[in-house]
Amino acid sequence: MANYSPVKPGDLITAAFINQWLSSFDTRIGALEAVAVPAGQPTLNPLPPGPWHVGDTLTLTGQNLGPVQNTVVTLGTATVTQFNAGSSATSLVFTIPTLVVAATGTAFLLTVQTPVGSATTSIIVFQAQPTVPAGTVSLSPPTQSPAGTLAAGTYTFTFTFTANLNMQETFTVTPSIDVGWAAVYVDGAGNQITPSQFSIQPISSAQPVSVTVPIKVTIPASSAPVGQLSLAVTSQHNPSGLSKTTGPFPLTIGSTGPVSSPNIQPSIAYQSPNANYDGTSVLVPAGTTVVVPFSCLFVNTGLYNVVVVQPASNPGNLWVITLLVPAPLGPPAAANTGQIQVNAAHTTVTAIAVSITSSAGAVDNSFTLSFELASDTTIATQLPVQIKL
């Protein structure tokens, strides 16, 4: 109640009376304003910089965010009532719950509700980040440098490893030669890389990343006439799903090395070991037929021949190897030759398949799948394929 005397008709209105009247209003308005924002009303500071994903740990800061045991955070349609250690009335720490989120992120209202009141802000949440690398990988045959006939000395055989991954991954490089010649992973200057590893950071799901893998081979002066070069590239966090082995490629003294062009990069299309592939060899139980898928990256456009080169020795014809796709041109000379027309540069063709049939008693063997530019057969890559029962 205001403390002033009532005004009667004819009273003089003085400055003191007006000042008393205005002071009364100030006091009453101040009291109303104090009631409008109750003591303890929660407030939120700006969110820390994102991006934020489902499963991330988020820390909210502000004032009057507790008592924590009575606080509820609502994020979209999800609620959070359990907070991490260290949470208090000025800091709430919790895991962003499972939400239906678009690939490009989804905006949500985030509300902190306490017994006194609530505070709301907005946040953009993205899909959960992967914890295990996945995708597809391929490993193409090597190119030789310097080119020419092999002799005692040092040569570099450069493989190409191509990956389309959902997250960054590190791969271990393991070269080997069966007769004990030195083989190491090197950089562009020929220096050994230690540890023998490389990492791939994906660009996008539509853009595979290719890495050259140079292997320096030293052929001693007194050595076996031929060595078999193999290369294994092994994923550290998903070795069963993202590892590749290629070879062996025969390195014969007095002959040229593997036939390989960087413009033609074929590989077995199996992405992981299975009942018909152990990571190195195709497995064909006696009396059965296995259809093996292949893929090939063609850097340039053109018409390409695909040729199945039969084993150098096949006693009793216990192995039958036939090109299925692309369809053979026809018997007799072209029974195992097909053609692929590539109309766009940097095209990966996956419609390539070879049928392999084994009979009891067949010994471990190999055949070669050869790819060559029809208009210039010197531009070619040969992929050896190991087969066994």
**129 against 194, higher pLDDT:** 194
Which residues on neighbouring strands pair with residue 305, listed in sequence order? Answer: 339, 372
User: Could you tell me the pLDDT band of residue 78, with boundaries at 50, 70 and 90?
Assistant: very high
pLDDT, averaged across the chain: 90
Indicate whether this model's pTM tops 0.75.
Answer: no
Phi and psi at 268, nearest 5°, equal -65, 135
Contact assessment for residue 331 and residue 294, using Cβ atoms and an 8 Å cutoff: no
Averaged pLDDT for residues 370-384: 95
pLDDT (tens digit per residue) in 225-269: 999 999 999 999 999 999 999 989 999 999 999 999 999 999 999
- Given a cut of 50, whether residue 37 has pLDDT beyond it is no
Phi and psi at 96, nearest 5°, equal -60, 120
According to DSSP, residue 7 is labeled P
Confidence (pLDDT) at 21: 60
Averaged pLDDT for residues 57-61: 96
- Given a cut of 70, whether residue 45 has pLDDT beyond it is yes
- Given a cut of 90, whether residue 17 has pLDDT beyond it is no
Phi and psi at 49, nearest 5°, equal -60, 145
- Given a cut of 60, whether residue 68 has pLDDT beyond it is yes
Tokens representing 22 are: 């205005």
Confidence (pLDDT) at 54: 95
Task: Characterize 138-164 residue by residue with b for buried, 16 or more Cβ atoms within 10 angstroms of its Cβ, and e for exposed.
Answer: bbbbbbbeeeeebeeeebbbbbbbbbb
Cα R_g (the chain), whole angstroms: 36
* pLDDT cut 90: percent of the chain above it: 80
Averaged pLDDT for residues 1-15: 64
Q: Beta-carbon neighbour count of residue 85 at 10 Å?
A: 5
Averaged pLDDT for residues 208-225: 94
